[in-house]
Structure 1
Amino acid sequence: MNFALILFCLLILSGAIWVADIFFLRKHRPADAKDPWWVEYGASFFPVILLVFVLRSFIVEPFKIPSASMLPTLHVGDFILVNKYTYGIRLPVINKKIIAINEPQRGDVMVFRYPEDPSLDYIKRVIGIPGDKVAYQNKRLSINGKLLETTRLDDYLHPERLYYSKQFIEKIDGIEHSMLNDADAPSFISNVAQFPHRNNCLYNDAGVICTVPEGHYFMMGDNRDNSRDGRFWGFVPEENIVGKAFFIWLNFSNLKRIGSFQ
């Protein structure tokens, strides 16, 4: 469901009713006549819809975490806020950038439209920016030939499935975040899609090595062996960017999660 398109249509409809009532309909109604129900509701909802549309399109957008691919950073059921303007001002619905501000940086947690189905929003961590050579070999990540620094932590107990994963602190461009690996999961990547710029990636028994094309980004989940990400479906084009995730504002099953975003 394209909520942005639905909201835009409601804005146009309620706005048209509001304008028609002010400049035409009201003048032709008797002074003591009650507004028709459709005028009353349409005109009264217009300011509310306009406010929601502006906030959601240009300032912040709420997003619910649907899967465990970003554990331990983000949990299933986390409600997060996404900054819509930090990567540039975009026209609603068509998502075309009209004002450039910042570009995504390595380590950012970014929401984007899934390349294989743009009607779906995905969230992953930015690993590679245009021109980077990203290698994920034997479950170790390197960028432009430099192996990322990692520090081993205590094993992570998954809250839903009750099993342990190896947990590490990984540092990328000075940004530290936790990430998980499963000891029994293979290093090689199977069921790889035939995505655009597929020839920029080399797959082997140890994993994958990709050179990120211009205007694209390479994304990975923090739960490395339980994330279907850029290793499987390729690169995220710039026009698919939605915004930067920055805050957990609610989790019904764990209120301590509020504000805990790393």
Structure 2
Amino acid sequence: MARLARLYAPGIPQLLQVHFAQPLAAPADPTPVEPLGQLAAWLRECAHEQQVTVHGWALLNDRLALLATPASQRGISRLVQSIGRRFATRLALGRVFDGRYRSALIQPGEWILPVMVWLDTLPVQLGYVDQAEFWPWSSAVHHTGLNLKPHTWATDHPDYWQLGNTPFERQAHFRQQLANGLNTTQREHIESALFGQWALGTEPFLQSLDTTRRATPAPRGRPRKHVAPQENDA
């Protein structure tokens, strides 16, 4: 089966996830602090070089996930390639990533905040920590105001700014959203769009996208045949 072409639409954020070919550590091993810190630094450098605006991110033992808006059609793929090259020369032997990265276009104003909650709570979902803010290698510490160092490279999405007029209001509201979590339907929609490499949003948003391929899955089953009306014998 031919590979799906990458979905891209100018100014539309993308949710991305790529797995490492070899995890940085086994689940029972100590947290690989140094490799995670190095990967976080490379993510910052490569995002700047490739003009990709990162809104949220998470680095785990087995994957990188982020929400970002690229300045050009190939911005995201070049970002992943740049990180992969650094990874290959300093940390890894052989293949770096376990296959291609997966990505989904995300509708602003509708799905950005749920996707940010999904992203920042990945360490909780996968059993690394009990609270998202306790995992240092993600944007949760920034979005909740618990980052002790200046956060100068990631850029808050405008939807995050709608949470309040001051940083303290925004952080408090986002902490509450993290505490509330996502419902099952929201999580399924996000993960289905990411796994299938589709767009996630309302029907008007999906219809407005000018992409090189379908932005949503085709309806299941064969197309219904059109039956011409029969003339009455008279």
Question: Normalising by the residue count of structure 2, what TM-score does the alignment of the two structures yield?
Answer: 0.22
Indicate the structure with greater strand content: 1
Indicate the structure with greater helix content: 2
Question: Normalising by the residue count of structure 1, what TM-score does the alignment of the two structures yield?
Answer: 0.21
Q: Computing the radius of gyration over CA atoms, which structure comes out larger, 1 or 2?
A: 1
Flag the structure with more relative contact order, 1 or 2, with Cα contacts below 8 A and sequence separation at least 6.
2
